[in-house]
Amino acid sequence: MGYTTRFTGSISLSRKLTLKEAKRWLDTCEEIYEGDVSLKPNRPDSGYLQWVPSESLDGIVWDEGEKFYLYAEWLSWVIDKLIKPWDITANGKIGWSGEDAIDTGLIEVVDNDVIVTTTDALKVSSHSPLTRIKLAEMAIESIGEASDDT
């Protein structure tokens, strides 16, 4: 079986991701899921990358998948390997709640530094996770907007 932890809230980004950056991020999630060994030495030892861009492209959210382990380590990895190289700063709070009633806490990101506090999870605003379908819709919409401007 496994243990499920739920997350609420989002981490804000200092600027919106480009569609290319969002695609690269989702590709990286897929590569890790498929077991790309070239990524193994540079990532957490267990589980999959379940932090994804928000639909609005201005945040980091949980993909709502089950059995997410090493979530703080994965968040640090995303910030170090994707966010910082793109010259983006992340800030915000995400609360977590595990299956055990006492397994609650807060992940806070302050200027790209991840701070974990085991405590009562706070109510924080939430965003929808970005999916490939939504990214494709956004790309098509941006093409339409560009042609409207001409």
Q: pLDDT tens across 72-108, in order?
A: 999 999 999 999 999 999 999 999 988 887 788 999 9
For the segment 114-131, what is each residue's pLDDT rounded down to a tens digit?
999 886 544 455 678 899
Cβ atoms of 10 and 61 within 8 Å: the answer is: yes
d(CA 8, CA 72) in angstroms, rounded, equals 14
Query: And the tokens for 59?
Result: 């945040």
Sign of CA dihedral 4, 79, 45, 55: positive
What is the overall mean pLDDT for the chain?
A: 87
Q: How many residues does the chain have?
A: 150
CB 113 within 8 A of CB 36: no
Q: Which residue has the higher pLDDT, 40 or 28?
A: 28
* Structure tokens belonging to residue 73: 């380590």
In the chain, what are the domain boundaries? 5-148
Q: What is the pLDDT of residue 102?
A: 79
**Residue 127's Cα: distance from chain center in Å?**
11
**Burial state string for 37-74 with b = 16 or more CB within 10 A and e = fewer than 16:** eeeeeebbeebbbbbbbbbbbbbbbbbeeeebebbebb
Evaluate if residue 51 carries a pLDDT over 80: yes
